[in-house]
Amino acid sequence: MSNTPVALVTGAARRVGRAIAWRLAQGGYDLAITYHQSVSEAAELCSQIRHLGRRCLSIAADLTDPQPAVAAICAAVAGEMGRLDVLVNNASIYETGDLRSASVAQLRRMWAIHLEAPLLLCRALEPLLRSAGGQVINMVDLLAERPWKQYLGYCASKAALANLTLALAAELAPQVRVNGIAPGVAQWPEDYPPAEREKYLRRVPLGRAGTPQEVAELVGFLCEQGTYITGQIIRIDGGRSVS
């Protein structure tokens, strides 16, 4: 088995997940990444990571159907990589749905990808993580504590992930550290209206949106220097949580 540390990042083909995977590869990790529909983006990322001299395993997985997806992911990671030092639960879906419009099917998809999949991955990968003295990083959201009514299912399921993070930190200690990262805006949804963006930024003390790279650097810090940090939900929101 290689001595090179291995990180698994779910939903890594695009956006923040891609930045996290790239940052960890630059930091010396071999990577396993999952993707759902972004086939070409995942292939391109793996090619870039391999050009750094790192191994990269790309796994197709629909984490809204978590049991078969988790089984496939864990078999691939154990079989191809042989170890796991970092699990980043990043895969997510972001859909509108208020009290009247949120369907049961939508709520169940949110619950599956934001809560069930991280829990099942931690359960299945626990032996590898404990053996490596590794860590879990869950991508939460500032909206888990400051929900928007038009994103009812998203906010509630991310709040469940935040709670799971705290429980797993106690459960997996002392070998495995577990933390959450709660961005405000790290990258705008493509269809988010400019007027709404400006309205949001007026409430951000630092006056701007964050970037995927800034989130990725926080992941890097936790992996490389945060050896006495566990059970924390770290906000990276430009101060929005205090305004």
Q: Which contiguous run of DSSP H or E holds residue 105?
A: helix 104-111
Active site (annotated) includes residue 154:
yes
Q: Can you read off the two tokens belonging to residue 196?
A: 């709404």
Residue tagged active-site, from 29, 35, 151, 154: 154
Token reading at 2: 């290689």
CB neighbour list of residue 75: distance below 8 Å, 6 or more residues apart: none
Cα 199 from chain centre: 26
CB neighbourhood size of 164 (10 A): 23
Find the helix or strand (DSSP H, E) in which 144 lies. none
**Catalytic residues, which ones?**
154
